[in-house]
């Protein structure tokens, strides 16, 4: 058994879109976010809430990690969404625009009051300036908080910034959230890429997200799934290197440092290599 749950590809879909809900059963996504927030029109929200809860309870999505994104704190739909999501018992309830540790504590308490099972975690979206500025305390607010999800559209909007290749305007925010997630030992997912027809731009952003340290990427279209799965999985070369490096270190047992293919190897590199193999094994197990 491995402790990793792969979250390479995490697909949002409007819970009001029956076709999309059906389609997701056939897609090789690691996780699904049944959305009740931005992608659902106000009139459609009650029916979408029911559809999301039914989808989670259906057992029709195989090994995919299922989550529900509720409407934000303070909106007219939030309480009903949270209750329905808690009772459906998905892997996580995703809450947009979480702004403080206090909000996390209150969300967790509400989930518990609504009878959420223990396996239902909280995923907090980091998408406002105040959240970024307080992100470490948010990350540490509750053991039930297991993942950050970057909301890069809202972040760009709130900063009066622009969407540009390379994402320079929001890199400080992405780095800060990553630092907090790693310090707290939780997962963190990159934001979405809006242009569903721009494959090159999307793949470049996946590579950037992996290099920064994200565990995976949130997606908005089935055409983005394959690219994210490839980008956030260790390559064959990386797996081979990890095995070779560990072997080289074990062969040199007793000496704290060896070389592998000319590169210095110390215990910290072995730990990284073991993590690579754990992620690889978890992905293999998912596919098996
Ligand atoms: C972006 C879209 C509106 C495009 O829709 P459409 O033009 O219908 O796409 P296609 O015709 O290419 O679709 C082909 C088939 O795939 C299905 N489909 C499309 N999108 C999804 C999906 N997300 N999940 C599952 N299935 C999907 C179509 O039904 C077609 O099926 P078929 O005919 O049977 O072959 C659309 O992709 C879409 O609505 N995407 C999701 C949008 C969304 O959820 N937005 C909210 C989340 S993003 C966000 O808010 C992030 C954050 O908060 C931030 O601040 O950044
Ligand atoms: Mg948002």
Of ligand 1's listed atoms, the one at least distance from the Cα of 152 is 56
Q: What is the predicted pLDDT for the residue at 1? A: 40
Ligand 2 centroid–CA 185 distance in Å is: 23
> The whole model's pTM is what?
0.96
| Ligand 1 geometric centre to CA of 13 (Å) | 6
Q: CA 148 → CA 22, 62, 78, 121, 214, distances in Å?
A: 27, 24, 19, 11, 10
| Ligand 2 center to 196 CA (angstroms) | 17
CA of 98 to the centre of ligand 2 (A): 10
Q: List residues bridging with 66 in a β-sheet.
A: 32
Is residue 79 left, alpha or beta, with left meaning phi > 0 and alpha meaning psi from -120 to 50? alpha
Give residue 1 CA to ligand 2 midpoint distance, Å.
34
CA of 217 to the centre of ligand 1 (A): 15
Pocket of ligand 1 from Cβ distances under 6 Å: 11-14, 19-20, 23-24, 35, 38-39, 96, 127, 151-154, 191-192, 196, 220-222
Q: What are the extents of the domains in the chain?
A: 9-231, 236-287
Atom of ligand 1 nearest to the CA of 19: 29
Q: Report the C-alpha gap between 186 and 221 in whole angstroms.
A: 26
Kindly give the number of the ligand 1 atom that is closest to the alpha carbon of 96. 53
Q: pLDDT (tens digit, 0 to 9) for every residue of the chain, 288 residues total?
A: 446 899 999 999 999 999 999 999 999 999 999 999 999 999 999 999 999 999 999 999 999 999 999 999 999 999 999 999 999 999 999 999 999 999 999 999 999 999 999 999 999 999 999 999 999 999 999 999 999 999 999 999 999 999 999 999 999 999 999 999 999 999 999 999 999 999 999 999 999 999 999 999 999 999 999 999 999 999 999 999 999 999 999 998 778 899 999 999 999 999 999 999 999 999 999 887
Atom of ligand 1 nearest to the CA of 17: 29
Ligand nearest the Cα of residue 14 is: 1
Question: Which CATH homologous superfamily contains domain 9-231?
Answer: Phosphoenolpyruvate-binding domains (3.20.20.60)
Nearest CA to ligand 1 atom 25: 20
């Amino acid at each position: 058994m491995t402790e990793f749950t792969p979250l390479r590809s995490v697909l949002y879909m409007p819970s009001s879109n029956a076709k999309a809900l059906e389609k997701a059963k056939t897609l090789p996504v690691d996780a699904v976010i049944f959305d009740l927030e931005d992608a659902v029109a106000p009139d459609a929200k009650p029916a979408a809430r029911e559809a999301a809860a039914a989808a989670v309870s259906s057992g029709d999505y195989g090994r995919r990690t299922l989550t529900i994104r509720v409407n934000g704190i303070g909106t007219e739909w939030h309480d009903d969404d949270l209750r329905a999501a808690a009772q459906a018992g998905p892997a996580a309830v995703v809450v947009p625009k979480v702004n403080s540790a206090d909000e996390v504590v209150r969300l967790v308490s509400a989930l518990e009051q609504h009878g959420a099972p223990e396996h239902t975690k909280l995923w907090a979206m980091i998408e406002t300036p105040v959240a970024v500025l307080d992100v470490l305390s948010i990350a540490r607010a509750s053991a039930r908080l297991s993942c950050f999800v970057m909301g890069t559209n809202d972040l760009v909007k709130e900063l009066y910034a622009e969407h540009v290749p390379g994402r320079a305007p929001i890199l400080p925010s992405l780095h800060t959230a990553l630092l907090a997630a790693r310090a707290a030992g939780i997962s963190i997912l990159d934001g979405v890429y809006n242009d569903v027809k721009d494959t090159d731009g999307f793949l470049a952003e996946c590579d950037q997200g992996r290099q920064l340290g994200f565990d995976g990427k949130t997606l908005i279209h089935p055409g983005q799934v394959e690219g994210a799965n490839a980008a956030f999985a260790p390559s064959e070369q990386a797996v081979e290197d990890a095995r070779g490096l560990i072997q080289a270190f074990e062969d040199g047992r007793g000496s704290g440092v060896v070389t592998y293919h000319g590169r210095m190897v110390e215990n910290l590199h072995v730990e990284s290599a073991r993590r690579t193999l754990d992620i690889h094994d978890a992905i293999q197990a998912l596919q098996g």
